Amino acid sequence: MSKVTKRFIFFFSIGILLIAVIVTYNIWNQHHEDIQNAEARSMTAVQLYKSLSEGSEEIKSILINQVINVSGEINQVIKNQKGQQVILLKTGTSGGSVNCTMEEEVMNIKEGDVVILKGVCIGYISGDPEIDLPGDVFLIRCYRSS
């Protein structure tokens, strides 16, 4: 094998290795999905709650892990223990909410206001029927939608 061929193989291998490192680095450090600009399915808080608390497994699989535009009347605005704003939307089930953890705080909102929130639906957790505590549907990474 000539010196030129050896050099070519050497630099070619280094090049391939560099590309592999860059690709791996980019995959490992890719950003989270841009929720604000993502395509979303639109539905009301009442529809979403009913679909996930009573719907079939097929309906649940369509909605879970998807970006949803959920509209509804605010039941309560609270802060979680990390200081994030959490907006609870009415669902027609007393004590059961669409529980939206906000990415950015929404100012000037109050109980009774009707809002549209956009976030990732992670599913429904049933509460405890023994103590009459209904479950919630949870959305994370939420923003106010226009």
Partner 1 sequence: MFKSVFLLFVLVAAFNNNTHGQIFYTKNGSISFFSKTIVEDIDAKNNQVISVINFQTGTIQFSLLNNGFRFPKAKMEEDFKANYMETDKYPRSTFKGVISDISNVNFSKDDAYKVNVKGSLSIHGVTKEIEVPGVIIVKNGTISAQTEFNVLVEDYKISVPSIVSNKIARSIQIIVNCHYEKK
Q: What residues contact residue 54 under an 8 Å CB cut-off, 6+ apart?
A: none
Segment interacting with partner 1 (CB under 8 A) among 9-17, 28-36, 40-48, 105-113 = 28-36
Longest dimension (CA), the chain: 82
Query: Which range in 5-13, 67-75, 104-112, 134-142 contacts partner 1 by CB under 8 A?
Result: 134-142
How far apart are CB 135 and partner 1 at their closest, in Å?
A: 7
Stretch that binds partner 1, among 1-9, 12-20, 30-38, 106-114 (CB under 8 A): 30-38
Q: Does 114 bind partner 1 (CB under 8 A)?
A: no
Distance CA 18, CA 13 (A): 9
9 vs 133 by CB, closer to partner 1: 133
The answer to whether the beta carbons of residues 122 and 140 sit under 8 Å apart is yes
Within the chain, residue ranges assigned H as helices are 3-28, 45-54, 57-63
Which residue among 1, 27, 37, 107 contacts partner 1 (CB under 8 A)? Answer: 27
Per-residue mark of binding to partner 1, 73-102 (x: CB under 8 A)? -----x-xxx-x-x----------x-x-x-
CA distances in angstroms from 72 to 28, 44, 107, 135, 145, listed in the order given: 37, 6, 17, 17, 12
Instruction: Look up residue 129 and give its DSSP letter.
Output: G
For position 123 contacting partner 1 by CB under 8 A, the verdict is: yes
